[in-house]
Structure formats: C-alpha cells, structure tokens
C-alpha cells in the first residue's frame, strides 16, 4: 500500500526484500550477462513440458482479476 499511495520509487534490494524480484545480481561489466546465461542454462536443463506448464501457470495468475492491482509494479520490473 505504501508504494501505491505515495508513488515512492524503490531500489532493487527493497524489491527483492518484498519478493518483487527473484534475485539481485552484482554490478560490473558482464555480470548481468553471465548471470542471465547461467539461469538460461539451468532452465534449459529442465523438462520442457514442466517449464512450459510453469510459464502457463504464471501467465494465468498474472491475467486474473486478483493480479490487476499489482500490474503497475509487475510491469515496472520486466
């Protein structure tokens, strides 16, 4: 409610504390790319059907009317 009513901006660490971001990576040249590739490799090693099912579940959850109040925050993170 704090962010909704005040419009206050938050940093990535606070977003992670509030579970609005799944992880925070270090700064520096190539760090984000290395972390992204490592995550992609991990996901690619999983069952394709399981990954697709999880994606569909997340997408279904974010399209429900219960999610609508959170849409501005979610959109700002992607």
Print burial letters for 5-24: b (CB count within 10 Å at least 16), e (below 16): eeeeebeeeebeeeebeeee
What tens digit of pLDDT does each residue of 15-46 get?
888 888 888 888 888 898 999 999 999 999 99
Domain residue extents for the chain: 1-45, 46-78
Residues in the chain: 78
User: What predicted TM-score, i.e. pTM, was given to this entire model?
Assistant: 0.59
Residue 78 has pLDDT above 60, yes or no: no
């Amino acid at each position: 409610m704090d962010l909704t009513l005040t419009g206050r901006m938050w940093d990535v660490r606070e977003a992670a504390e509030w579970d609005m971001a799944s992880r925070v990576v270090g700064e520096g040249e190539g760090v984000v790319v290395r972390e992204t590739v490592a995550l992609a490799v991990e996901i690619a090693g999983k069952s394709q059907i399981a990954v697709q099912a999880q994606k569909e579940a997340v997408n279904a959850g974010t399209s429900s009317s219960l999610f609508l109040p959170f849409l501005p925050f979610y959109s700002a993170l992607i």
